[in-house]
Copies of this chain bind each other. A is one copy, B any other.
Amino acid sequence: MGRAVTLLSGGMDSATCLAIALETGNECYALSFDYGQRHDIELQAARRIAERMGVLQHRTLKIDLGQLGGSALTDKSIDVPEQPGEGIPATYVPARNTIFLSYALAWAEVLDADSIYLGINAIDYSGYPDCRPEYLRAFQLMAKLATRRCVEGGNLEIRAPLLELGKAEIIRRGMDLGVDFSMTISCYQADEQGAACGRCDACRLRRAGFESAGVVDPTQYQG
């Protein structure tokens, strides 16, 4: 039986990823970040998901990415795009996954965990550079050189089981594992009740995924 640190945002991908980590037979520890995102509804969702799915411990670290700025998700003066555009969108948060994975690495060392799970995927995604397989491979290589655990012969694998799955496949996989998607929040600008805007990139990808999977979309939309 392994021990895993799982990044948990409160969205559908990370919830499915956690379900996979649990099904694989891991003792799971979940890690979320209060990083100055537009709303904390997704953190509330993360807490509920962690509790429902039975992780051993769930931590939410407060980290101040808003102080650095540079993203529509951490700076309210930058609008969240509501139309698909060219290139990497304004919702990209500089070095976000690298920062999240670095904390997961620290916690994994302290817990003596042998894996870190994260729900990134590079198929139905927004084109963020830190969601691509080549990025993940490079992080893995770096992690093995960075840590006492690995230098002393231990193992620490970064696992992204959704990396090559489309959104519809993620939804089917999650449903097979009993994930309750009505608990998850994907929208970048959900309202205080957790209702989704239906227009941002995250909403568009999620809605198309449910349509393509032929599954009733449990998302609550605004208005």
A interface residues (Cβ-Cβ under 8 A, vs B)? 59, 61-65, 67-70, 87-88, 92-99, 102-103, 105-107, 109-110, 129-130, 132, 134-135, 138-139, 141-143, 145-148, 150-152
Contact = CB atoms under 8 A, between A and B. Distances in A.
B106 A99 contact: yes
Contacts of A63: 63-64
22 contacts: A61-B67, A68-B106, A70-B106, A87-B152, A88-B152, A92-B148, A94-B105, A94-B109, A94-B148, A95-B147, A97-B146, A98-B102, A98-B105, A99-B103, A102-B102, A129-B148, A129-B150, A129-B151, A130-B147, A134-B145, A139-B146, A141-B142
A46 to B, nearest CB: 16
Contact of A141 (B69, B110, B138): B138
Contacts of A141: 138, 141-142
A154 B75 CA distance: 23
A88 B148 contact: yes
Contacts of A70: 106, 109-110
Residue among A145, A151, A152 having the largest count of chain B Cβ atoms under 10 Å: A145
Nearest to A92: B148
A75 B132 CA distance: 36
Residue among A59, A141, A142 having the largest count of chain B Cβ atoms under 10 Å: A142
Nearest to A134: B145
Contact of A129 (B67, B95, B110, B145): B145
A35 to B, nearest CB: 10
B145 A94 contact: no
A147 B102 CA distance: 15
